Amino acid sequence: MTQSNDLFFPPRFAVLPDRPLPALPADWTSPLAGFVVQAHKRPSQLLVRDNSGEEATYGDGLVASIALGLTLDPILREDGEYVGLLLPPSKAGMFANLATSFIGKVPINLNYSSGNDPINSAIKQTGLKKVLTSKKVWERFTIDAEPIFLEDIVPTITRWTKAQAWGYSRLPLALMRHVLPGLGRGLEDVNTIMFTSGSTGEPKGVVLTNGNFCWNALQLWLHAQVGSGENMLGCLPYFHSYGYGVTQCAALMLGMSVFAYNNPLDARGLCKFVGENKISIMASTPTFMRNYLKRCEKEQFASMKMLMLGSEKLKEELAADIRKQLGFEALEGYGMTELSPVVSSCVHLLVKSPATGLDISGNRPGSVGQAVPGTAFAVVDPKTGKILPRGRANEGRIFCTGPQLMRGYFNKPVETANVIQNGWYYSGDVGAVDEDGFIFLTDRESRFAKVGPEMVPLILVEKALREKAGCNEIDLQVVGIPDESKGEKVVVLYIPETINPGELTKALTATGMHTLWIPKAADFHRVEGPFPTAGIGKLDMKAIKKMALALDGQS
């Protein structure tokens, strides 16, 4: 084992995947090449439809994105390898990503949900000169780069360029590689750089290769058996790893139809869009899904085969409400930008138990499912560094590895070495793997509070409080903040006026919960809802903790 910054990294092959991966298809040298293969195979199938009514088939989408790329090439040619994109999920956003890739550029989708600073940080770190965007999006920001407005570029695409793109699209893939530089790039070449939210400082650029996304697409196909013929909702933004890696790269490589909705906050409109287009696969976050439940009709989700929720814990009460209101089970998945992004998920299929070899249900409530093929998990004791045996009781730090693991953080070798050693990535999560290979996450390490000698799991305190208060997961949040006498203390922020802090503390005491786990009545603070969320839909715990500090007089 290797120890770094109080972390014990497992030896390289200490744990092997339960399921190996076959070789990639020969033509899958990049997600772009995988898309071309599908466009040649199914030219008349719908590729994308967005909520503005714009749509295109695979064949038309191939021609249009090549033509856009050829038109952008002289504009972007002298500006280095990277080009910024500031566009929501849409036909235009998808084609802009494809177009820049076709001409050999590396698209970097910028986070338009968090204001100027994270965008300008990404621009400064990568030396971006130009950003593809729309006037409507651009006017919201003050950005240190030159805008290229798609609505100005598209009308300039000439008939000759369209004819040239049509001709290129008819060539065999082997010949297309000679005329479109992006198709000449291989598995080890950089596909994109995705910037993290910067919750612990300056946003870090996650460098992801063509191979990362190709392997993850293959893993999804083998693990969930999804592919052509499915209608996938694309509402997560392209700056989010699931929005880019799954609802664009994997969806196009596997021949799905993508239905792009540009505003995941528009719950009523999105649910209507889901129903009208008979969406069969949808990925979202628990926070978003709670809002959709308030405004959707059961019939709108009648065609849903797979509702995958990730980015934050799927709470038991939300899973129960989905089951009751919509009539099916939501699936919980696990992923991270650094792993392109999917590492595990529950599925509505029978899977093999690695312990017994028997067929068992692929959906185990409370878990984030089995690892996708080719991915291994190691659970490490934080004190001894020993790899713990499988079993729900054997909780420790979660490490994972697989071919979808990032190259590293852009120009940040120290930060990369802090989380990747011996081929293993430290997730920052605490949990266990049971005998059947299902991963159970207890919480983020950052969501434990050190109260005196006790490590308090805030998620368990939160769950107990919600049960006693009769409220759901978006009405009450628990955080740990500094305390002079005990190091940290547990603070509760809540929205409902009906909550009585004194009664709740007594109710928790009556359960036998450890005294140091129970927040004092004075550390309950009522706030005006809703709680802040990040652009990808999960609760913004950094902002929530800032609220708690201010209410405690520590801001």
Contact present, 451 and 486 (Cβ < 8 Å): yes
For residues 434 and 460, membership in a common domain is answered with no
| Residues 392, 22, 304: CA angle, nearest 5 degrees | 65
CATH of the domain at 467: 3.30.300.30
Portion of the chain with pLDDT greater than 90, in percent: 79
| Model pLDDT, residue 170 | 98
- Coil, strand or helix: which one is 166? helix
Number of domains, the chain = 3
For residues 440 and 529, membership in a common domain is answered with no
Higher pLDDT, 443 or 92: 92
Please check the confidence at residue 447 and state whether its pLDDT lies above 90: no
Please check the confidence at residue 199 and state whether its pLDDT lies above 50: no
Residue 187: C-alpha distances to residues 24, 34, 398, 528 (Å): 10, 12, 27, 49
For residues 118 and 197, membership in a common domain is answered with yes
Please check the confidence at residue 200 and state whether its pLDDT lies above 60: no
Residue 309 lies in a domain: no
| Model pLDDT, residue 3 | 62
For residues 546 and 526, membership in a common domain is answered with yes
| Model pLDDT, residue 198 | 52
Contact present, 406 and 206 (Cβ < 8 Å): yes
Please check the confidence at residue 280 and state whether its pLDDT lies above 70: yes
Residue 253 lies in a domain: no
Residue 368 CB-half CA count within 13 A: 27
Rounded mean pLDDT, 512-530: 88
Lowest mean pLDDT among 115-119, 160-164, 537-541: 537-541
Give 51-95 pLDDT, tens digit per residue: 999 999 999 999 999 999 999 999 999 999 999 999 999 999 999
Residue 226 lies in a domain: no
Reported confidence tier of residue 445, pLDDT bands at 50, 70, 90? low
Give 309-356 pLDDT, tens digit per residue: 988 889 899 999 999 999 999 999 999 999 999 999 999 999 999 999
CATH of the domain at 153: 3.40.50.12780
For residues 386 and 440, membership in a common domain is answered with yes
Three-state SS string over 299-317 comes to: HHHCCCCEEEECCCCCCHH
Please check the confidence at residue 372 and state whether its pLDDT lies above 70: yes
Please check the confidence at residue 446 and state whether its pLDDT lies above 70: no
| Rounded CA separation 162/177 (Å) | 18
Give 324-327 contacts, CB < 8 A, sequence gap 24+: 325/293, 325/296, 325/298, 326/293, 326/296, 326/298, 326/301, 327/298
For residues 419 and 462, membership in a common domain is answered with no
For residues 158 and 210, membership in a common domain is answered with yes
Rounded mean pLDDT, 115-128: 93
pTM, two decimals, is 0.86
| Model pLDDT, residue 454 | 66
- The domain containing residue 496 runs over which residues? 452-551
For residues 436 and 457, membership in a common domain is answered with no
Contacts of 519 (CB under 8 A, 6+ apart): 461, 478, 489, 490, 491, 492, 505
Residue 313 lies in a domain: no
Give 220-261 pLDDT, tens digit per residue: 999 999 999 999 999 999 999 999 999 999 999 999 999 999
For residues 456 and 355, membership in a common domain is answered with no
For residues 164 and 202, membership in a common domain is answered with yes
| Model pLDDT, residue 4 | 60
Token pair belonging to 84: 């910024």
DSSP secondary structure string for all residues of 221-241: HHHH---TT-EEEE-S-TTSH
- Coil, strand or helix: which one is 351? strand
Alpha carbon dihedral 379, 385, 386, 392, in 10-degree steps, equals -30
| Model pLDDT, residue 120 | 95
Please check the confidence at residue 554 and state whether its pLDDT lies above 90: no
